[in-house]
Structure 1
Amino acid sequence: MYGGYDASTGPKAVVTACNALAVAAAAWFLFGGTDTVADWFGTDADHAEVLRRGLLIALSAIYLLRFVATTFVMLRRSMEWSEAVTVGVWVVIIHGTMAYLGGTNTASVGVLTWLGVALYFFGSYLNTGSEYQRKVWKQVPEHKGKLYTEGLFKYSMHINYFGDVVLFTGFALVTGSLWAFVIPAIMACMFSFLNIPMLDKYLAERYGAAFEQYAEKTAKLVPFVY
């Protein structure tokens, strides 16, 4: 999972297809069926319900675009088939859960909804922004073989993972359902007890003392907290 560098075109294409199909299915669930989108908007449906569903589709679509950019542009490491299948199933669960819980919610759109949108974009910035900063830094020849500890990674060793937790917390807020917070909760646990230990082990073996010094002074996931 870590340490290999190849295109992994097949696995990356499969996980991206799963993501795209999940977004399409979510859009169909929210606005599809026998009516066209134009007909749906022309009904007497509550404006808050229409707005919430529109936001849910937009957030799913933005996540898909970011996923494509990260997977094919910024992700240098290889992706195994087992990872592609696991992540593919996970993104289907995410999009399906958010669409179902948000699409069946008829409550008004208020401050918490827009707070959710703000958190979504902030988390997206932490994730994609940090990945982009690292990619640019790694392209400098003098930095080859060195551990990246700058930019947003100064505040957390895994700020990109923290960004995912923040953005999906925001996504859950937009659904207006407490059950949706199961998604970022599971994600935080997966990062803390699975992904981070695996990645830290690899980084410690590759960078040695440089990684140890970085780990001693930098939060592991949540900046200034943990």
Structure 2
Amino acid sequence: MQETATSGVTQLTAINTAKILTSVILITCGFYFGVQDLRQVLYLCLHLSYCSWWLLEQWLYPLRRQQIFTEPAGSGEFMVLLLMVGLFYALPGFLAFTNPEPLSLITVAIALPLYIFGNLFNACADTQKLTAKQYGAGLVQDGIWRFSRNVNYFGDLLRYVSFSIVAGSPWAYLVPVTILLLYLQRIAQKEKAMAEKYEDYAAYQKSSTRLIPFIW
């Protein structure tokens, strides 16, 4: 029997709940394991600020809630998203709190720019597309979108890579690798749908990269 979605519950509702769960897990790790080093301080600042911004952005730009993850979510899908986005995505945080090695300044120098530029790419891309759609634009292919057809995904990946770098464990990279695989699947579906929707999408494909600006 096909599972029906709970009335009013969308994928975005599940993801928002998962972001709150991630925040609770990270704060719990802070109390349980304690903050022993700059590693834990930096990780909390980065990941909690990201989760807070994810929720705050929807309050600042209510139209976003009508544009992203609007598909209904049944109870099964809700739990999968909650466990994956809420629990699994907190893995680097757990590893950061259980890592006894002190955080080096080189690691900070690598992770912080990745996080900052990841946020900038993601926020600029989302804001530009949101504004363009408000004014009835069709295919958005200028501004930051002229460099990559999925520059928002690229920014998101940079952000999660920065979390893994701060965590300082090879296991932490399971999260960005998993996200990359999910995005590649989503990109393949999106490319096909966009090509059918916009006549000029083929030209846009030739003038831009699929994910990583100037590379691929």
Query: Which TM-score applies when normalising by structure 1?
Result: 0.79
Aligned counterpart, 1:3:
none
Change (3 A) 1:68 1:54: same
Q: Distance in 2 between matches of 1:217 and 1:17?
A: 38
Aligned counterpart, 2:186:
195
Of 41, 47, 57, the residue aligned with 2:44 is: 57
Change (3 A) 1:92 1:220: same
Residue 139 of structure 1 aligns to which amino acid in structure 2?
Q
Residues 1:183 and 2:175 aligned together: yes
Q: Distance in 2 between matches of 1:15 and 1:9?
A: 14
How far apart are residue 31 of structure 1 and its match?
Answer: 2.3
User: Is the 8 Å Cα contact of residues 89 and 175 (structure 2) preserved in structure 1?
Assistant: no
How far apart are residue 9 of structure 1 and its match?
Answer: 5.3
Q: Distance in 1 between matches of 2:139 and 2:56?
A: 23
Aligned counterpart, 1:126:
121
How far apart are residue 69 of structure 1 and its match?
Answer: 4.2
Between the two proteins, what is the percent identity of the paired residues?
Answer: 22
Aligned counterpart, 1:155:
147
Provide Cα deviations, 1:169-203, integer angstroms capped at 9, x if missing partner. Answer: 111111111221121122112212x1101111221
Residues 1:113 and 2:112 aligned together: no
- Cα RMSD after superposing both structures: 2.2
Higher relative strand content: 2
1:63-78 alignment runs, 5 A limit = 63-69=50-56, 73=61, 74-75=64-65, 76-77=67-68, 78=70
Unaligned runs of 5+ in 1: 1-7, 34-39, 42-48
Query: Which TM-score applies when normalising by structure 2?
Result: 0.83
Q: Distance in 1 between matches of 2:27 and 2:9?
A: 26
How far apart are residue 54 of structure 1 and its match?
Answer: 1.7
1:1-226 alignment runs, 5 A limit = 10-11=9-10, 12-32=12-32, 49-69=36-56, 73=61, 74-75=64-65, 76-77=67-68, 78-81=70-73, 85-110=79-104, 111-141=106-136, 143=137, 146-192=138-184, 194-207=185-198, 209-226=199-216
- SS where residue 149 of structure 1 aligns? coil
Provide Cα deviations, 1:88-122, integer angstroms capped at 9, x if missing partner. Answer: 33222344311211111121221113321221121
Q: Distance in 2 between matches of 1:13 and 1:219?
A: 31
Aligned counterpart, 1:4:
none
Residue 86 of structure 2 aligns to which amino acid in structure 1?
V
How far apart are residue 25 of structure 1 and its match?
Answer: 1.6
